[in-house]
Amino acid sequence: MTARTAVIIGASHAAAQLSASLRLEGWDGDIVVVGDEGYLPYQHPPLSKTFLSGDKTVADLYIRPAAFYEKNNIRFRQGRVTAIDRARQLLALDDGTSLAYDKLALCLGARVRKAGLPGEALAGVHYLRAIADVQGIQPEVIAGKRAVIIGGGYIGLETAASLRKQGMAVVVLEMADRILQRVTAPELSEFYSRIHREEGVQIQTGISVTALAGDGRVERVVCANGVEFPADLVIIGVGVVPNVELAQTAGLAVDNGITVDEFACTNDPNIVAAGDCANHFNAIYQRRMRLESVPNAGDQAKAAAASICGLKKPYQSLPWFWSDQYDLKLQIAGLSQGYDRVVIRGDKANSRSFAAFYFQGTRLLAADCINRPQEFMLSKKIILDNLAVDAERLADESVAVKDLLG
């Protein structure tokens, strides 16, 4: 019997887990991972933090060492897949070659959303998504120089913290009324605005950038209200776009991501998808969603690998996320959309540690926990097990975390 081939497109977080899980689930055929960066799958969260600061090397970022893939006979091929021929189960690559598959996994991730600003091509203007992006930024991180970050989401704020710690003067420009508006509640936005200002970052909200200006190199950021900010370095972080074009052209169902079921299967029985590019139904929140997170990529990849091996292991994990800024570790359990009440545990206004619990009626939907690992673990349990909890006791710090469910 001819050995079967599983091909994974995209050398991402999801690809690292999926390739490993295929072997764990008993796949004894070939495994080929096609990636266009020339690196083994690597961690993305440190890019805007310890990698940008120079505290980690490329090798430090690798999710698994080369020896792991060699031992498990997982082969990497550099290149870009340009088309999927589902009828012939054949992939076309950008070097003119083709690659046959029996089972296909799409771990395509997402790419930066381009702002499309005049002057964006000037030297000193960067996006931050991949190793090469950070390597381009690093030589321009100079103490005393001025950095302007366009976009007050997590990437923008993490980058601001890293640049500030390296001695740069940092301005964050956010078009919305508050930073983190797309991803979190006002309570967290207020907290991070205070922290960044205390650390010396200038934050401007409700401000729209219209152009980047300079003579061959960026020198200033021009805003719609006429204000200009001098800049030696500009980093744009205005979100990401899921890479769905390859799937869409091949006739797979796409709707804010590649549509998959709870087993990570697409509408083609031989194709699965996982990670930032996939849109799945979440049983906990009873709605479809596309998540941009490392835990989601890993857990969904496990379900995808099981499906390739003919097993059925539904993906039904609780969404969770984290962000590191300065000495703060934010851990988010669940999704807060639809909340009608926020309960605060700790001193949000003056300390660097608190937890915010988001309720819909008596049900806990989500929690944002800053330097509060115990509250984070408790929240995950409450949400996953749909446990009843007394909101007033949650807010009362005289009640130990271990006693909150008592």
- Spans in the chain with pLDDT lower than 70: 1-2, 406
| 143 and 122 assigned to the same domain | yes
Residues 219 and 261 in one domain: no
In a domain, 347, yes or no: yes
Question: Residues 35, 74: one domain?
Answer: yes
Q: Domain of 140: which CATH number? A: 3.50.50.60
- The answer to whether residue 130 is domain-embedded is yes
Task: Give the DSSP per-residue string, 232-259.
Answer: SEEEE---EEE--HHHHHTT--BSSSEE
Q: Does 251 reside within a domain? A: yes
Predicted confidence (pLDDT) per residue in 334-355, tens digit: 999 999 999 999 999 999 999 9
Indicate whether 315 belongs to any domain: no
| b/e sequence 307-326, b meaning 16+ C-beta within 10 Å | bbbeeebebebbbbbebbbb
Judgement on whether residues 84 and 9 belong to the same structural domain of the protein: yes
Neighbours of 121 (CB within 10 A): 9
178 lies in some domain: yes
Domain CATH number, residue 353? 3.30.390.30
Collect all residues with Cβ–Cβ distance below 8 Å to 59 and sequence separation of at least 6: none
Query: What's residue 1's pLDDT?
Result: 41
Q: What is d(CA 90, CA 313) in angstroms, rounded to the nearest whole number? A: 27
Cβ contact 167:338 at 8 Å:
no
Pairing of strands 74-78, 30-35: parallel
- 223 and 141, same structural domain? yes
Within a domain: residue 313?
no
pLDDT in tens, 118-148: 999 999 999 999 999 999 999 999 999 999 9
Final residue belonging to a domain, choices 308, 339, 363? 308
Where a domain ends, among 191, 223, 238?
238
Residue whose C-alpha is closest to residue 378's, from 17, 390, 93: 390
* Domain encompassing residue 71: 5-111+241-308
Domain-embedded: residue 352: yes
In total, how many domains does the chain have? 3
Question: Are 118 and 106 found together in one domain?
Answer: no
Instruction: Round to whole Å and give the CA distance between 62 and 41.
Output: 6
Q: Which of 279, 308, 337 is a domain's end point?
A: 308
Measured CA distances, 196 to 76, 338, 403 (Å): 41, 28, 34
Contact assessment for residue 31 and residue 22, using Cβ atoms and an 8 Å cutoff: yes
Tokens of 157: 């704020």
Residues 103 and 122 in one domain: no
Place of tokens 């190199």: 217
pLDDT for res 45: 94
Measured distance CA(280)–CA(23) in Å, rounded: 24
**Structure confidence by residue, pLDDT tens digits, 195-224:** 999 999 999 999 999 999 999 999 999 999
Q: How many CB atoms lie within 10 A of CB 105?
A: 30
Q: CB burial class (10 A; 0-12, 13-18, 19+) of residue 386?
A: exposed
Residues 212 and 131 in one domain: yes
Q: Are residues 143 and 234 in the same domain?
A: yes
Helix count and strand count (H, E) for the chain: 10, 26
One domain, residues 247 and 102: yes
Q: Which helix (H) or strand (E) holds 282?
A: strand 278-282
Does residue 201 share a domain with residue 61?
no
Classify 36 as helix, strand or coil: coil
Residues 245 and 284 in one domain: yes
Phi, psi dihedrals of residue 210, rounded to the nearest 5°: -110, -25
* Residue 318 located in a structural domain: no
